[in-house]
Each structure stands twice: as C-alpha cells, then as structure tokens.
Amino acid sequence: MNTPGHAIVNLLVLGKRDSQSLFAPVAVGAVLPDFPMFVFYAYEKSWLKTPERVIWSEAYYDPVWQAFFDVFNSLPLLALGVLVARLLARPHAAVLFLSMMLHAVCDLALHREDAHRHFFPFSDWRFQSPVSYWDPRHYGSIVSTIEMVVVVVGAVVLFRQYPGRGPRIFLGLILACYTFYIGYALVVWA
C-alpha cells in the first residue's frame, strides 16, 4: 500500500470521532514506517544519482538499507514501543506505535519480493504475500484500484469526521501527495 493509503486506512480504523487529539499520533504512525524509504530514495536518486532500475533492483536490497527499513516495520519492536508507552502512561505514544503496527500488518499482506522482515531483529524471515500492492503479475492492478477508491472515499469520510483545520490540511496534503505519486509513477516507472 502506498503511504497516503496507509494514512487514510489508519485514520479510518484507529481514529475516533470523539477524540480529535488522536488524529496526529494515528497520522504520524501511519506514515512513519515509510520514512526510511523516503530517505533511501532521496539519497539514491538525488545524492548518488543512481538510475531508477538500479534503485529498485539492487540498492533496495542492500543489507544496510534493509535493516533501516525493517527497524521501522518490526512488529516486536513496535509492540515494545506500545508496551513502554503504556508503562510510562503516554497514551498518544502508544497510539502512534499501534498505528505503525497497523501499517506493518497491511504491508505484511501486500508485499511480495519486496517484503520486510516484520520480526526483525529476531528473525530474517519474510512473508512473501501472494498479493502485491503494485505488481500486476500478483494482482497489483486490482489492489491499486481498490486502494485508490479507499483513499478517495476514505478522505471524504474523514473530512466530514474531522472538521478541524489541521486535520483537513493534512488530508488535503495526503490527497495531493497521492495525486503527485500517481503522476510520478506514470512518468518515471511506466
């Protein structure tokens, strides 16, 4: 699932209409697991000038990058974060880690060859889902269409659920990022 999709899904699942204060930790937790990917892509593309095909066929699989990605997607580490946040009576931090966990679970179901080690550092095992969020050989066309519908319909629902200026700006940015991503993907990867 693309990052904006995670944000919308997590807000729909974990957000609460009567608790506007949960919007920020859910939203941040939804996008944080993909933060290492943005750092990776910016570094490889802008700093090293790595060609696009090399970024996704070689650089992505470098063990150092993989460890960086997996720390942010490790279910045991995220569960530890929830536990510590609860012990320290930090409910918003606990929600942030729960949101990160929901992101990781969605990724578990939608990644094939690019799967994360969701039990890192305790295991190098990767679940290679039969379904991919992007690869048309593994239902990626269907999944991406469903994701687009969920993002658009979900954003409308969330816009009505969160009348505040901050949440609406965030939702607008999410939709803008999603639109930009689709355009970028069509130009660069198609």
How confident is the model over 19-78, as pLDDT tens digits?
788 999 999 999 999 999 999 999 999 999 999 999 999 999 999 999 999 999 999 999
69 and 116 in contact (C-beta within 8 Å)?
A: yes
Across 160-189, average pLDDT = 90
pLDDT score, position 190 = 67
* pLDDT-derived band at 125, boundaries 50, 70, 90: very high
Q: How many CB atoms lie within 10 A of CB 55?
A: 16
Give the CA distances from residue 80 to residues 51, 125, 126, in Å, rounded to whole numbers and listed in that order: 38, 19, 20
How confident is the model over 63-116, as pLDDT tens digits?
999 999 999 999 999 999 999 999 999 999 999 999 999 999 999 999 999 999
CA–CA separation, 190 and 103 (whole Å): 26
Residue 123 falls in which region: left (phi positive, over 0), alpha (psi -120 to 50) or beta: beta
Helix (H) / strand (E) element for 18: namely: none
pLDDT score, position 18 = 65
